[in-house]
Chain A
Amino acid sequence: MTKPMVVMLFIQLHLTAMLSIFTVRILEVTSLAHWEAILLDCVLEMLLVWVYLKGLSRFPGKNMIEIISETTGTWLVRLILLPFAVFLFFHLTLLNRYQIFKINVVLLQDTPLWAITLIYMALPLYAACKGFSVILRISAALFIFYIPFVLFSLFISAHNFDFHNIFPIWDPKMTFLAQPTYYSSLISFSGFLFLGMLSLDKPFKPSRLMLVMIILAFFYLSTVYVPLLIFSEEVAITFQYPNVLASDTIDLEWVVFDWLPTFSVVSSTGLGILEAATTLWTATTLIKKLFLPINEVWIASGLTLAMFLLSMLVRNSSDLNHFLLMNSIPGIYSMLVLPLAVALSGLWKRRASA
């Protein structure tokens, strides 16, 4: 487990999130000055990551569960982390379902959903059972193979940009803050939570990750602005998958590029499987350490089965949307409480030792 590999995974988890529901959410919450909403999200995540890493750095070689339980005791830590476990479980189910709906619409129209779901479950299960170091190695391989495709499918349509569509660029009232949907877009920034599960001997320096996150902020901006610059705001709002359609606006005569949405969907699917593996591993470790001390293979298999059955119950996209909104409540809770709890434990430890 090396740090560059962790950074690669960190980047890819964010890319997955931004390529799935993020663009639609941001387009929904405001009709002007989208960058305000996006950058506010980014700054908030930077702040949380900084607090999280500062807290973790006081406890080398320990993970977040051990850190919090050291100060609070077993029962309280179970209570604090229960919403996190709930969030992970539903996050996995719903984002998988989102990807599967997308594959069904764009690529495999006749394949039954359960068959796609089965693959989507089998690969993450295998990776999660093998442990975190395997996930990291997969992520390093995917990083090299997939990132060019992601960049390609994201920016291929640059030829059709009309920069007038950036306007109106300024929204002094920040009306999006009043929209509950806006807060659910924060879920796309939850990719940093796994950092607490790593038990690193030499913890991350926050400053280095900050640089990575500035680059990521640029990508968050591009995922929203690519469809926006091509179609303009009033049109992009009507699309279910704006990024997929944006990549289809380019006409290349070369036959490989005849159906460009394939690149977009395949790359986001590959990343989606990686994210599912990480989330499943995090959930399995959490449940094993806190609630059920049995072999992780059983826990992971049980979770996967439950997920499979549950995702079959989400039958249409409006239900999915509703559930995603609901799940943002435990999501935002975990994103706020985890870093704070770790940081407070750090402060507590320093006071106790002083």
Chain B
Amino acid sequence: MKRRIIPRLLLAFCLPCLLSGCWDIKDINKRYLPVVMGICDGKTETYHVTLQVPTVTGTTQILEQEAKSISKALDLIRTKSEKHVDLLHLRLILISEKMAEKGIDDIIDYAIRADDISIKGMVAIVTGDFQKALHHQVGPTPEVSSYDYFSEEAGWTPNVSLVRLWEAYKVSRSYTQDTAIPLVEAGTDTLYEFRGSAIMRNSKMVGTLTPDETLINNIFSEKYTGGTIETAEDASILIKKATVRHRIKWGDSGPQLNSKLHLDIEVSENKQGLSNQEITEEIKTSIEKRGANIIDKLHTLKADVLGIGQLFKPKMTVAQLKEWKERWYPKLQSKIEVEINIRNNIYLKDKLRENNLRM
């Protein structure tokens, strides 16, 4: 028995050697961990890839390279850098506006295919000076990372649209959806300035939504609440809850959509002392109008940013699904109706002016 124990022990000790995965080991202090990747047109080559690497001292190190493909550019960056470049923590991909107009299919495909980039990373398009936006550093708060701007756990607000890599990939191939990717510019007092969203049609940028339109768009896609809306008559409201109910019908002329948007709001500013009734009316007409405008705009661009095609999936055959963006979406007749419920006026009462008069 004793004789057999020794070879067994030896065998057992061999296994941990294999298990350690020695081939993949690279110490953390021997790695660059970029969090932001910027991609724009190169001067001489197809792509100009920029990596932002946060350093221990709080500054950001920039690695840049031009090449015919993104992976070649990364390969060249790895060649010239002292440490291993590891994309595991890449959280934000910034694409220049010019590139987005030509189409971002190749970039998204690369990011999904790459085995070291997580598909939950975010995508944004940079308008204006691309290099300035990437080399931009904000002095007093060194711990700020540029992807905090988009993080739902950090500085993100409902005005900003939010698109993850997998969502961008999904809509680039989907029959029934398009998307709006956030549009940013180098900021003055902060890292980025929000400039609205880029309307993508089949992963080509075809137009823009202003920040206000983006907020309305976000409300309609039922995603985000907490944004502030101003009305013409010097009153501001906060949106607490937004629910949308869609009624779909497939008539002889094509798809028909009736949407009912129900908003729970709070009045946050009321300079002229309007009654809640008046504010309700005003907000209702204003949102209905803005909504109709956006829908018209998206219609003319043939971009189904709101994902209305998804709603019609139950009514369509496979053949119709494939024709949605080209044939059926332009024929869509849609109507929006807004219902407003003013939850409260926060610490003040309704009809302030009338109360004052009584005193």
Contacts and interface: CB of A to CB of B under 8 A. Distances in A.
Q: Do A and B come from one complex?
A: yes
Interface of A: 31-32, 105-106, 108-112, 115, 118-119, 122, 162, 164-165, 167-169, 230-232, 234-235, 238, 245, 248-251, 253, 258-259
Contacts of B317: 168
Contacts of A253: 151, 153
B343 interface: no
Given A115-B23, A119-B18, A248-B119, A235 B173 contact: yes
Interface string B145-177: 000000111000000000010100110011110
A231 B24 contact: no
Given A167-B313, A232-B170, A106 B318 contact: no
B202 to A, nearest CB: 13
Interface size class of B (residues with CB under 8 A): 20 to 34
Contact of A109 (B19, B116, B151, B318): B116
Shortest Cβ-Cβ A-B pairs, 10 listed: A167-B313, A111-B23, A164-B310, A110-B23, A251-B120, A167-B314, A110-B24, A164-B313, A235-B173, A253-B153
Given A108-B21, A165-B313, A119 B119 contact: no
Contact of B118 (A110, A119, A248): A248
A109 B24 contact: yes
A253 B154 CA distance: 10
A100 to B, nearest CB: 13
B15 interface: yes
Give the dominant DSSP class at B's interface. Answer: helix
Nearest to B115: A105
Given A234-B173, A248-B119, A111 B21 contact: yes
Given A164-B310, A250-B120, A253-B153, A119 B173 contact: no
Nearest to A111: B23
A122 B21 CA distance: 16
Given A167-B313, A238-B173, A249-B119, 20 more contacts: A106-B115, A110-B24, A111-B21, A111-B22, A112-B23, A115-B18, A118-B18, A119-B19, A164-B310, A164-B311, A164-B313, A164-B314, A165-B310, A232-B174, A235-B173, A248-B118, A248-B166, A249-B166, A251-B120, A251-B152
17 contacts: A32-B318, A109-B24, A109-B115, A111-B24, A112-B23, A118-B18, A164-B311, A168-B316, A168-B318, A231-B166, A234-B173, A245-B119, A249-B119, A249-B120, A249-B164, A251-B164, A259-B88
Interface of B: 15, 18-19, 21-24, 88-89, 112, 115-116, 118-120, 151-153, 164, 166, 169-170, 173-176, 310-311, 313-314, 316-318, 321
Nearest to B317: A168
Contacts of B176: 232
A250 B120 CA distance: 7
B328 to A, nearest CB: 15
B259 to A, nearest CB: 15
B169 A235 contact: yes
Given A168-B318, A251-B164, A234 B153 contact: no
A132 B159 CA distance: 61
Contacts of A106: 115
Contacts of A32: 318
Contacts of B314: 164, 167-169
A336 to B, nearest CB: 33
Nearest to A246: B166
A106 B164 CA distance: 20
B166 A245 contact: yes
B24 A259 contact: no
B120 A119 contact: no
Give the dominant DSSP class at A's interface. Answer: loop
Nearest to B311: A164
A259 B152 CA distance: 18
A168 B173 contact: no
A28 to B, nearest CB: 16
Nearest to A169: B314
Nearest to B176: A232
Contacts of B15: 119, 122
Given A110-B24, A168-B318, A232-B170, A259 B313 contact: no
A105 B119 CA distance: 14
Contacts of A235: 169-170, 173-174
A266 B113 CA distance: 20
Contacts of A249: 119-120, 164, 166
B250 to A, nearest CB: 13
B318 A108 contact: no
B33 to A, nearest CB: 11
A234 B88 CA distance: 27
Nearest to A115: B18
A109 B21 CA distance: 10
Contacts of B89: 258
Contacts of A164: 310-311, 313-314
A240 B93 CA distance: 23
A7 to B, nearest CB: 30
A162 B173 CA distance: 16
A259 to B, nearest CB: 7
A281 to B, nearest CB: 20
A31 B318 CA distance: 8
Contacts of A108: 21, 23-24
Contacts of B19: 119
B118 A259 contact: yes
Contacts of B169: 235
A112 B22 CA distance: 10
B123 to A, nearest CB: 13
Nearest to A250: B120
Given A235-B174, A245-B166, A168 B313 contact: yes
Nearest to B315: A167
Contacts of A167: 313-314, 316
A293 to B, nearest CB: 24
A165 B89 CA distance: 30
B84 to A, nearest CB: 11
B310 A162 contact: yes
B34 to A, nearest CB: 15
